[in-house]
Chain A
Amino acid sequence: MVDTPKPEELIENIDHTPPEEPWEDTPPDLSPGNFCYPTKKKNLEYLGLPTPTTDEWSPSDEEWPIPENWQQIIHEGFKDLLGKYRSLRIFMDTCVRCGACADKCHFFIGTGDPKNMPVLRAELLRSVYRNDFTRVGKILKKIGGARPLTKQVLKEWFSYFYQCTECRRCSVFCPYGIDTAEVTMMARELLTLLGLNINWILEPAANCFRTGNHLGIQPHAFKEMIEFFCDDIEEITGKKIEPTFNRKGAEILFITPSGDVFADPGTYSMMGYIMLFEHIGLDYTLSTYASEGGNFGLFTSSEMMKRLNAKMYAEARRLGVKWILGGECGHMWRVINQYMDTMNGPADFGEVPVNPITGTRFDNAASTRMVHITEFTADLLRHNKLKLDPSRNDMYTVTYHDSCNPARAMGLFDEPRVVLNAVCNNFYEMPESTIREQTFCCGSGSGLNTEEIMDLRLKGGLPRANAVRYVHEKFGANMLSCVCAIDRAALPPLMSYWVPGVDVCGVHELVGNALVMEGEIERTTNLRFEPLTEEAEVEADV
């Protein structure tokens, strides 16, 4: 007879206790499913970045393909960054480990992994800083919180700095204003010196460098996609719209993330922008060269960010536009609002943006020459320039996710809400501690929106989803609006798992639905071709 263990024996064999050793000695979990796939070598080569010593490798390999003098490369790189950025030195020196940030990170809240506490994540880098660059660290070693850069530390960096979405929620709570997202950016820049970056970041960056956008959509295909949307708009509204491309002399250049062109539900926002511009008679053009608002250089190195960002200005100058209008994007706005002016500014083209319809001068964008679409639309609304029928969005009970970067990196809180309140009748806010500057990340930002770490993304997105579930249950919210292309890609699976019954949209999709355009036919569907009323639905079924 088979010797079957008794239940008690089985229970005894299940070890629930986490490892006893201190965090410094706990190795990172780099088993499959717990890391993003490393980048293909060709992407690094295309961008002129350092490459690993072999073509194919996995973070779960014992030995990583890095050059023999890797420690020296990191040390030199670190030294270089410390010389370049006084902020980094301050971030490394000032943390008093008060713990205010500890429980503010969505990855910590979802996983309970102490290395996802922002203070400890930064400590991974800080401990090496102390060891290499401070006298106290050199003398006191481990007692002074210093530790040498070993291969395990390097693996830890790869694991945890690609488990941070650079959302900056933690820095809102830091009494010293330490920007932990920038600590992550610096660590990733150091890892990139050894070719240790991930494919979901490097491939879009390389594509962007070559064709102008993340997916590598070529100019003719980009144009055809937009024309395809115009066919849909014509079917829905009866209005034929013909946007222009690369038109010199246009007043405004419109740049949006390419996600709005190739990925649902962003495409419906793209339709919304086009309809809005047509309705107000805006003199604008689209570019097939600056066909990407997103900038994955932000997740690679400052130099890469600068290079990718420069094409916006180059194209604006080439076309001779007065200013740039930017679509609903996340990190694009962090780059524009916080770094563009330093890297490539002040702008050497055009003039201070003025809304040609209302005459409003956007002095906040005087130097960058770039205005956010919700600022622009909110301004149109304030001047009563739009005719709207918000009842066309009545099938939706809408809530709004403050996308991290527009919220925390540019303080864009009220403009999207002004727009939402104008274009839909049912709008409800999520709890106060989960919106505006305290907004919770979608869990997939900063290049982590990749399928191989779906579990991690779902864990990281739990605090966001939990707040959505609250408005879903309390007010019947069924539409989560946002102003970020990564959100529009990341939130649908997050909702499918945690809050089924809630869909995701961009703010300008709802604008497109509500907009009453001159000469349009009576609409029977929204931009998704869903019937507007229940009667229409019944008719459609017959």
Chain B
Amino acid sequence: MGILQQNREKWLKKWLDTVFATYPAESVPFFRNTADTFANPVGATIKTGLASLYDALAAPQFDPDTAKKALEPVVKLRAVQEFTPAQALGFLYELKTIMGAGAESPREEKGEIFSRIDAAMLMAFDLYMENKRTIYSLRASQARDNVRQLLIKKNLICELPEIDPELAK
């Protein structure tokens, strides 16, 4: 979409700033300025993810899969950090605010971009919940496996044997 492409540098920077602003002030310079990906995985994930997402939103044809791919690492990160769900994903709507305050643009184009952002937000919800579910199941399986394996090995409990499919007929 023309308007997003024209303002890419300016708006993407503003958008990144709003995401970094969700972290404690003392940490923002580190997240924003440390370029080494291995020293600063959070900053790198956000920068790469948002740039790709921005391009997906700005593309002439909106491809949900490309947008989802860009969103995945960012949402995965935000899902474990200290945020409420709204705080974790609210950055998507910030782009609307940035656009609103920016250059005048044809109403239809703006409408189209806004609905793309809404679509991205719905995808982000799904991804967020998927990640949370993974965390809950990792928690539960740690608690369960700790003792279960020992009980199985000690023959105190036994698992159901494999059933020969021939016999089961």
Q: Which residues of A are at the interface with B, using a C-beta cutoff of 8 A?
A: 7-8, 10-11, 14-18, 23, 29, 102-103, 108-114, 117, 215, 217, 221, 224-225, 228, 262-264, 431, 433-434, 451-452, 454-455, 458-459, 462-463, 466-467, 470, 493, 496-498
Contacts and interface: CB of A to CB of B under 8 A. Distances in A.
B27 interface: yes
B80 A112 contact: no
Given A16-B87, A111-B82, A113-B27, A493 B142 contact: yes
Contacts of A109: 39-42
Given A14-B90, A113-B27, A454-B139, A497 B42 contact: no
Given A433-B39, A459-B81, A462-B42, A221 B154 contact: yes
Task: Identify the 3 closest CB pairs spanning chains A and B, nearest first.
Answer: A112-B27, A466-B41, A114-B26
Contact of A225 (B77, B94, B96, B153): B153
Interface string B129-149: 001001100111111001001
Nearest to B141: A493
A103 B23 contact: no
Contacts of A462: 41-42, 77, 80
| B interface residue count range (under 10 / 10 to 19 / 20 to 34 / 35 or more) | 35 or more
Contact of B82 (A113, A434, A493): A113
Nearest to A215: B150
B86 interface: yes
Contacts of A108: 27
Given A14-B87, A112-B24, A451 B41 contact: no
Given A111-B82, A454-B142, 8 more contacts: A29-B82, A262-B153, A451-B143, A454-B138, A458-B80, A462-B77, A467-B38, A497-B134
B93 A103 contact: no
A147 to B, nearest CB: 18
B30 interface: yes
B115 interface: no
A466 B38 contact: yes
A222 B45 CA distance: 45
A434 B97 contact: no
B134 A16 contact: no
Contacts of A497: 76, 80, 131, 134-135, 138
A103 B34 contact: yes
Contacts of A452: 139
A433 B36 contact: yes
22 contacts: A8-B97, A11-B97, A14-B86, A15-B87, A16-B18, A17-B21, A18-B22, A103-B30, A103-B34, A110-B81, A111-B82, A112-B30, A112-B81, A117-B26, A264-B149, A451-B138, A451-B140, A452-B139, A458-B80, A466-B37, A466-B41, A497-B131
B163 to A, nearest CB: 16
Nearest to B153: A228
B158 interface: no
Nearest to B28: A112
A469 to B, nearest CB: 9
Interface of B: 18, 21-27, 30-31, 34, 36-42, 76-77, 80-82, 86-87, 90, 93-94, 96-97, 131, 134-135, 138-143, 146, 149-150, 153-154
Contacts of B18: 16
Given A225-B153, A451-B139, A431 B38 contact: yes
A162 to B, nearest CB: 16
A462 to B, nearest CB: 5
A110 B42 contact: yes
Nearest to A228: B153
A262 B149 contact: yes
B135 A455 contact: yes
Contacts of B80: 455, 458-459, 462, 497
Contacts of A434: 38
A8 B97 CA distance: 8
Contacts of A225: 153-154
Given A111-B82, A263-B149, A493-B138, A463 B41 contact: yes
B144 to A, nearest CB: 10
A225 B24 CA distance: 49
A326 to B, nearest CB: 23
A100 to B, nearest CB: 13
Contacts of B81: 110-112, 459
A458 B135 contact: yes
A433 B36 CA distance: 10
B134 A11 contact: no
A10 B138 CA distance: 33
A191 B31 CA distance: 33
Nearest to A18: B24
Nearest to A452: B139
Nearest to A500: B134
A10 B85 CA distance: 14
A143 B114 CA distance: 50
Contacts of B34: 103
Nearest to B18: A16
Nearest to A434: B38
B148 to A, nearest CB: 11
A463 B38 contact: yes
Contacts of B140: 451
Given A7-B93, A11-B90, A262 B150 contact: yes
A288 B60 CA distance: 69
A111 to B, nearest CB: 7
A49 to B, nearest CB: 24
Nearest to A264: B149
Contacts of B96: 7, 11
A220 to B, nearest CB: 10
Contacts of B41: 109-110, 462-463, 466
Contacts of B90: 11, 14, 16
Contacts of A470: 38
Contacts of B153: 225, 228, 262
B88 to A, nearest CB: 10
Nearest to B84: A14
B130 to A, nearest CB: 11
A454 B135 contact: yes
